[in-house]
Amino acid sequence: SQSNPYNSGVGYTDNTGYTSGYIPANSDLVIEVSFYNSCGTPSYTQNFSTTNANLSLGTITLPAAATATASGTLTDCNGQPVTNGYVVVQYNVGPVFRYPVDATGAYQFSTPLCGTNAVVNIVGVDLSSQQQSGGLTYTMISGANNIGNIQACGIATTQFVNITINGTAYSFTAPVDSIYMSGQGTNQHAVIGAFEINGNDWMNMAVGWTNVALNSQQPMYYFQTSHLPDSTSNPSQNTWVTITEFGSIGEFVSGNFSGTFIGPPPANTPYAITCSFRVRRVF
């Protein structure tokens, strides 16, 4: 709303740049286009008014100075073009996107900018060999950016969460299941989780992230899974996660823990839980 900026809604574009949604009728409104929530100033602003009929604003073109395009190629361990793969692009330690390669191993993507540039972390993934590159930090500027060649080689892309609860084993494995890391370190912890893409089972856990490093011991805050009848369990005593792999952003973090967890009252049911995991690091 033009008169009340706190009366607002948010919509996200799809991979074609299209977005839609409900808006108030017979109102004076303003649309602002920003790159997620990471820009302090919108890249585009337009005032418009509504009636009681549907409204199309047509194609919105962002200013050239506020956009960037990037291109490059992806090769495998033998220097041949990757034809079954993608690049993972993370913006300013924030949103993460995947862009596929074509039949020649080439990739291309466009993005809005916050200000005059955007710092991105780029990883190339070869799905056929299950190998990837290390993270490449690149500062994108307005206009064309030639990233060059990325070799998807040297780092296995395996991701999993293996759990044992009172002697019964459960497993989540990508890409059949979704394995993720979230939280951005907020409140000094990370959430590591997994869920079945074609099922109902899931898990997540909060791990302390202060001073995390290879071979460090990180505190476990909670553990949740659909495999527990009361869902949420907290450690009965100090339970520590041992970090056994700690790659750069875009690479992987692995760890394991073992401990007794107590379900919520009034049952306070104890569970003996062991867990090992490997997940792509996003912060």
Same domain, 149 and 96: yes
What was the pLDDT predicted at 2? Answer: 59
Same domain, 164 and 275: yes
> What whole-number distance in Å separates Cα of residue 25 and Cα of residue 103?
47
What was the pLDDT predicted at 31? Answer: 92
Identify the domain boundary among 30, 61, 92: 61
The domain containing residue 182 runs over which residues? Answer: 160-280
Same domain, 192 and 253: yes
3-state secondary structure of 42: coil
Same domain, 231 and 141: no
Same domain, 47 and 73: no
Tell me the pLDDT band of 231, cut-offs 50, 70 and 90.
low
Q: What digits encode the pLDDT tens for the residues 4-42?
A: 666 788 888 887 889 998 989 999 999 988 876 667 778
Same domain, 165 and 235: yes
Tell me the pLDDT band of 277, cut-offs 50, 70 and 90.
very high
Q: What percent of the chain has pLDDT over 90?
A: 64
- Other C-beta atoms closer than 10 Å to the C-beta of 267 total 10
Q: What digits encode the pLDDT tens for the residues 157-185?
A: 999 999 999 999 999 999 999 999 988 65
Same domain, 147 and 212: no
Q: From residue 72, give the alpha-carbon distance in Å to each of 82, 104, 110, 138, 277.
A: 12, 11, 12, 12, 32
Note if the pTM is more than 0.85. no
Identify the domain boundary among 18, 40, 61: 61
Q: What digits encode the pLDDT tens for the residues 180-208?
A: 998 865 568 999 999 999 999 999 999 99
Q: What digits encode the pLDDT tens for the residues 63-111?
A: 888 889 999 999 999 999 999 999 999 887 567 889 999 999 999 998 8
Same domain, 212 and 261: yes
Identify the domain boundary among 113, 134, 156: 156
Same domain, 94 and 46: no
> What whole-number distance in Å separates Cα of residue 225 and Cα of residue 182?
16
Same domain, 51 and 75: no
How many domains does the chain fold into? Answer: 3
217: pLDDT strictly greater than 60? yes
